[in-house]
Structure 1
């Protein structure tokens, strides 16, 4: 199923349908938009027909200077069988040649009261959000001190119980069990909950609880940028775990590498506090304060001083 159709834009941006009603179900496949100034001047060699076309004051003013035959020809070439729509901005009058061509090819012609650059910006942001690559991850997403922390691990390891403790400590739940993730930029992943389980948390022995009902609206968040992954796994006696924090591990989701920490789980460990501190430490690292690296540097200095004394 297409994520966005032309009719969705009509509803979202209050666009007036002028002609080409049969094409309002055309899919929009790219967030890139086009202002076909060169095409109206007659250069169609690289015409991006699959994009939404925006005609502003500049394009239509130039269009009026063309001969009647040129006007008819240019509008016929603008309207193709894959063009999702042509939008006239600033509530300008729609050329009759465009209406005729759009009716023949069933290309929706829409009109907006907004200025061209403003509409261009709003449409781009909306389409990039809707058409962004998406995936789903099994885990829990929590906002801890402004850091979006994705908690992962095998079923039964304690992800939801830890999230409940974090909510009790004043942090905010974004999603439990299934986290829908979309890549809005090259290095930006936004996580949210499926509509069916939004604000819900599953605790074994208790069942499903509504976090917003129990703890209030301040305990939940609709979406959050994912900055850190914390993977919970059962403690393995013979496995080596990072004790200094110098190992930089990452996990790739879609096309983005996210910093990752692996925390072993065993009785007596307060996972909520550990994850809370991990989020604070992550913030400090982003501010340029790395405690593990400072300790390592001091240790190296002490060893070097010892070596000099021996000499």
Structure 2
């Protein structure tokens, strides 16, 4: 999403509406920033970030309370004369009458939260960072395996859902089936299921099943970071598959490189177990140990050892 409306933000953060502007559904918030107008209340309006939400905290409130009434009224009027999206007051503080007066005059929504200023800023920025993050939708299945997010992709009918079902039976968790919504939040990507189909899974021959009801709440998860992409494909006898793993493959999702494996599928092959091994092995690589490189080094040392023995003879 490029923006969130002010009304959507009010509902998401459970803000109290002291004054509701007549365009609250049209005001767009497109930056995950907030401004505490301390300098502005002191009379300095150069470089005023008026496009951000304005937050009055405990310090700003007590500063305003210390000002003579005429100066306070002048500063507040000048603050509201700028096209600010909304004014928020924290800690459940009581707004000054002038604030309500100018909010109504300038048609600016005035909101209140019971949270402390710091906590509200964290909640606001985290929420906006997530809502405004770049997003794509992919066809696949996302499961949490040993605490890591494995995104299963591949042709329709290759067995993605069946593999995920077997993983769930082994104690792992389903995040999304069929449709995975992926967002980039800072330097991480995380996936979730659309709200409408969350925790549901389609199994050919059975139909739609509710994983949460069948296996309990411990079998599902609302979202997970994506640590590994596994492409399932039908076994091709003509294709030479990687048998060592020295050449690592990556795929790019929303500008982030994610390790990728291609796993061939054929009858009799335990795909779920292979996915488990793949995630465990990927975790070892993240911790600095690569089995393929370790074996390659051992082989090279053995070759060098035998070469020196031959030269010594």
Q: Report if the CA contact (8 A) 2:2-2:132 is conserved.
A: no
Q: Deviations over 1:124-167 (max 9, x none)?
A: 22222222222111000111111110000111211112112212
TM-score w.r.t. length of structure 2? 0.90
Are residues 254 and 81 of structure 1, via their aligned partners in 2, closer, same or farther at CA, if it must alter by over 3 Å? farther
Residue of structure 1 equivalent to 2:242? 242
Residue of structure 2 equivalent to 1:167? 168
Residue of structure 2 equivalent to 1:297? 297
Moved more, 200-209 or 17-26: 17-26
Are residues 80 and 158 of structure 1, via their aligned partners in 2, closer, same or farther at CA, if it must alter by over 3 Å? farther
The alpha carbon displacement at 1:5 in A equals 2.8
Instruction: Note if 1:5 corresponds to 2:21.
Output: no
Q: CA RMSD in A?
A: 2.3
Residue of structure 2 equivalent to 1:109? 110
Residue of structure 1 equivalent to 2:127? 126
Instruction: Note if 1:177 corresponds to 2:178.
Output: yes
Q: Deviations over 1:53-73 (max 9, x none)?
A: 111122233334556565444
Question: Any residues of structure 2 matched to 1:157-306 within 5 Å, and which?
Answer: 157-186=158-187, 188-306=188-306
Residue of structure 1 equivalent to 2:56? 55
Q: Deviations over 1:241-263 (max 9, x none)?
A: 22111222211111322111111
Residue of structure 1 equivalent to 2:141? 140
Are residues 266 and 16 of structure 1, via their aligned partners in 2, closer, same or farther at CA, if it must alter by over 3 Å? closer
Q: Report if the CA contact (8 A) 1:20-1:105 is conserved.
A: no
Q: Secondary structure at the match of 2:161?
A: helix
Are residues 81 and 179 of structure 1, via their aligned partners in 2, closer, same or farther at CA, if it must alter by over 3 Å? farther
Are residues 217 and 118 of structure 1, via their aligned partners in 2, closer, same or farther at CA, if it must alter by over 3 Å? closer
Q: Report if the CA contact (8 A) 1:173-1:221 is conserved.
A: yes
Are residues 234 and 310 of structure 1, via their aligned partners in 2, closer, same or farther at CA, if it must alter by over 3 Å? same
Question: Any residues of structure 2 matched to 1:35-114 within 5 Å, and which?
Answer: 35-66=36-67, 70-79=71-80, 82-114=83-115
Q: Secondary structure at the match of 1:214?
A: helix
- Structure 1 ranges of 4+ moved more than 6 A: none
Q: Distance in 2 between matches of 1:158 and 1:15?
A: 45
Q: Report if the CA contact (8 A) 1:139-1:177 is conserved.
A: yes
Q: Distance in 1 between matches of 2:210 and 2:19?
A: 47
Residue of structure 1 equivalent to 2:153? 152
Q: Distance in 1 between matches of 2:154 and 2:250?
A: 15
Q: Secondary structure at the match of 1:60?
A: helix
Q: Report if the CA contact (8 A) 2:135-2:181 is conserved.
A: yes
Residue of structure 2 equivalent to 1:307? 307
